[in-house]
């Protein structure tokens, strides 16, 4: 069945959102994700998880004694980060978004937000109408990013802000509390989305649900207790992938598999396509593969492909150069292809 017939067949079945991506599952692109995202067909991704630089004003490098040795990226921002024509394009086509970004007054913050906005606009385009996006950030920029996300995805599509709490050594000085949480902003693209609450239940602390006010008898309480509870919007039960843990590959800012398992388990179904456009050591790709999702990752560092190869050895993965042509529109009239 060719792509067009498949799309029509799926519409007949009432699954108007079934559209095959114009790339294979298991692809890792090692290039600037803006170029790759621009080459992906519209509305073909079920779940996007992104863990971009947080605007931390730091440089990151992998431990030299680790498998990820050689991986590095800079998280410092100056107005040079985004070309003026692209900023003008946002001002002309997305005035609300432009105003939201301009609310940040520091040059480094606006540069970072324009950089993010250009990519988030593409991510919005490639998500299926039933798809979800999880943006991982921290309190440095989460307040601005939420306004940017509202402008791109609409405020009504905001589903949750999950606070991932962890612990670890703190910064010396002791003049304020240690910052030990990240923020995950979940938006759906439309008014239907996947939420597999039963796939991500966790045990109640003492084996029992909190029965206060629920009027549960002992038998009901046991039944609910056995099923486990749906996590709330603060997750304190997932530890960072510390150096001594088996999954740690030494990649700077590597996220724990358990975190990705919960996000992917809740917001996608088997065979769905999961994309991580800042995939680093490919944690999201690995979690997606384990959960029988289709997946693809993008990272500007070629080390990413080595990491996915290492972490998924024995399973199938391939490394592709980006395709600049979309299959869902005539080639020459692609409005999103901005020349560098």
Ligand X SMILES: C[S@@+](CC[C@H](N)C(=O)[O-])C[C@H]1O[C@@H](n2cnc3c(N)ncnc32)[C@H](O)[C@@H]1O
Q: How far is the CB of 35 from ligand X (least distance, A)?
A: 9
* Beta strand residue intervals within 280-336, DSSP E: 294-298, 318-319
Q: Is 26 an interacting residue with respect to ligand X (CB under 6 A)? A: no
Using the rule CB under 6 A, which residue among 255, 262, 311, 326 binds ligand X? 255
Query: Residue 288 CB, nearest distance to ligand X (Å)?
Result: 12
Where does 139-236 show beta strands of DSSP type E? 158-165, 181-188, 234-235
Q: Binding string, 45-64, against ligand X, x = CB under 6 A?
A: ------xxx-----------
Helix (H) or strand (E) holding 275: strand 273-276
Closest contact distance (angstroms) between CB of 33 and ligand X is 4
Least Å from the CB of residue 101 to ligand X: 17
What mask, x for binding ligand X by CB under 6 A, covers residues 99 to 138?
Answer: ----------------------------------------
Contact region for ligand X (CB under 6 A) — 2-10, 205-213, 252-260, 266-274?
252-260
Asked whether the CA dihedral 95, 100, 101, 106 is positive or negative, the reply is positive
Q: Are 73 and 253 in contact (CB under 8 A)?
A: no
Task: Answer yes or no: are the C-beta atoms of 189 and 129 closer than 8 Å.
Answer: yes
Question: Cα(136)–Cα(164) distance, rounded to whole angstroms?
Answer: 10
134 — alpha (psi -120 to 50), left (phi > 0) or beta?
Answer: beta
**Alpha-carbon gap, residue 9 to 11, rounded angstroms:** 5
Contact at 8 Å (CB) between 3 and 20? Answer: yes
The DSSP bridge partners found for residue 29 are 298
Whose CB is nearest to ligand X? 280
Supply the minimum distance, in Å, between the C-beta of residue 114 and ligand X: 13
Residue 265's SS3 state is helix
Burial class (CB in 10 A: 0-12, 13-18, 19+), 316: exposed
Min dist. Cβ of residue 187 to ligand X (A): 18
Of residues 71-90, which lie at the interface with ligand X (CB under 6 A)? 73
Using the rule CB under 6 A, is 253 a contact of ligand X?
yes
Print the binding letters for residues 266-305 with ligand X: x by CB under 6 A, - otherwise.
------------x-xx-x--------------xxxx----
Query: To the nearest whole angstrom, how small is the minimum distance from the Cβ of residue 281 to ligand X?
Result: 3
β-strand pairing of 158-165 with 234-235: parallel
Number of residues that bind ligand X (CB under 6 A): 18
Decide whether 36 or 149 has the Cβ nearer to ligand X: 36
Give the residues lining the site for ligand X (CB under 6 A).
32-33, 51-53, 73, 251, 253-255, 278, 280-281, 283, 298-301
């Amino acid at each position: 069945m060719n792509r067009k017939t498949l799309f029509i067949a799926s519409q007949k079945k009432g699954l108007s959102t079934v559209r095959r991506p114009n790339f294979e599952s298991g692809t890792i692109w090692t290039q600037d994700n803006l170029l790759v995202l621009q080459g992906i067909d519209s509305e073909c991704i079920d779940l996007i998880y992104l863990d971009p630089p947080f605007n931390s004003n730091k440089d990151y490098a992998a431990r030299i004694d680790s498998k990820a040795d050689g991986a590095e990226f800079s998280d410092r921002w100056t107005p040079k980060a985004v070309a003026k024509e692209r900023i003008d394009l946002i001002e002309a086509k997305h005035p609300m978004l432009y105003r939201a970004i301009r609310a940040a007054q520091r040059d480094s913050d606006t540069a970072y937000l324009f950089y993010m906005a250009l990519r988030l606009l593409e991510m919005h385009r490639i998500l299926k109408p039933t798809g979800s996006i999880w943006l991982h950030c921290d309190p440095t920029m989460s307040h601005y990013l939420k306004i940017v996300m509202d402008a791109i995805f609409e405020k009504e599509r905001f589903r949750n802000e999950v606070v991932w709490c962890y612990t670890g050594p703190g910064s010396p000085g002791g003049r304020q509390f240690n910052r030990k949480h990240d923020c995950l902003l979940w938006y759906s693209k439309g008014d239907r989305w996947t939420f597999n609450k039963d796939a991500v239940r966790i045990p109640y602390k003492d084996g029992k649900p909190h029965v206060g006010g629920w009027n549960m008898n002992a038998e009901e309480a046991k039944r609910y207790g056995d099923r486990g509870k749906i996590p709330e919007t603060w997750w304190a039960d997932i530890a960072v992938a510390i150096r001594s843990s088996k999954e740690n590959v030494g990649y700077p800012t590597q996220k724990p598999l358990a975190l990705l398992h919960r996000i992917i388990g809740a917001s996608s179904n088997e065979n769905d396509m999961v994309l991580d456009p800042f995939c680093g050591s490919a944690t999201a790709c690995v979690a997606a593969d384990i959960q029988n999702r289709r997946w693809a990752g993008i990272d500007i560092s070629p080390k990413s492909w080595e990491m996915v190869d290492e972490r998924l050895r024995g399973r199938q993965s391939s490394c592709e150069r980006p395709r600049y042509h979309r299959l869902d529109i005539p080639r020459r009239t692609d409005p999103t292809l901005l020349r560098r």
